[in-house]
Amino acid sequence: MSLTIATWNINSVRLRAELVAGFLNAEAPDVLCLQETKSPVEKIPFEVFEALGYRHSAARGQKGYNGVAILARVPIQDAGHVDWCAKGDARHVAARLPGGAVLHNFYVPAGGDVPDPEANAKFAHKLQFLDEMEAWGPRENGPAILVGDLNIAPLEEDVWSHKQLLKVVSHTPIEVEALGRVQAAGNWTDVTREHIPAPEKLYSWWSYRSPDWAAADKGRRLDHIWSRGVDAVPGSSRILRDWRGATQPSDHAPILASFDI
């Protein structure tokens, strides 16, 4: 069977529940992974999504910050989570899909504004998180899909200006190299870039600070879909840029890919 998986940093699932519902109605993915839900699990409006057929879920949450959720219209089993950096924050949840593959939904720390772990505890946290992901990858056996807001744009073509963003958190060499080690250690394939290869520019995030984000187009590809041991349907991955222009939007756009499960 073919299964379509979407990932989206929604930047408050309660604030944007109707936006999520509109997306589910319009695009109908089999599974939607949300990041930055900013809600305790018990306050996530699951009833809105269940009414649309998404009756299965797995989530981790906390009040006002972080948070990850998986919504599915196919049966899934909660497969737990990892407490990265022993901080107790809700940045990861996993679910077992039909056929046995495990889906991992991540929200990697943004890292603050200063790309120096000595001067910026948030950046140090981000690097530690990536180090732990690198060590974790080889321990995870079997077919898997990893999605989420990884908060790093790895390629020159994943940012609007490679030269101007080299010292900006999300595209610094130390972060890009760390993400590369995570990918290599887990033997992950970057599905979206496999389907839409460089040198095509590709973004999934545009800052709220831009008065006309679409015209300026100063984006970054911070959101990713990776796979290991699961075949993606060729050419199926795409970034749905138009959702960034919705009413009261998230600053991220959703990404989709389909897999043969």
pTM of the entire structure? 0.97
pLDDT in tens, 163-207: 999 999 999 999 999 999 999 999 999 999 999 999 999 999 999
One-letter-per-residue 3-state SS of 128-169: HHHHHHHHHHHHCCCCEEEEEECCCCCCHHHECCHHHHCCCC
Whole-number percent of the chain with pLDDT over 90: 97
CA 97 distance to own-chain centroid = 17
What structural domains does the chain harbor?
Answer: 2-260 (3.60.10.10)
The model's confidence at residue 139, banded by pLDDT at 50, 70 and 90, is confident
The model's confidence at residue 211, banded by pLDDT at 50, 70 and 90, is confident
For residue 66, is pLDDT > 90? yes
Give me the mean pLDDT over the 145-165 stretch.
Answer: 98
Tokens at 58, concatenated: 């797995």
- Within a 13 Å sphere around the CA of 145, how many CA atoms are in the beta-carbon half? 32
Mean pLDDT of the chain: 97
Rounded Cα gap, residues 12 and 243, in angstroms: 15
The pLDDT, as a whole number, for residue 1 is 86
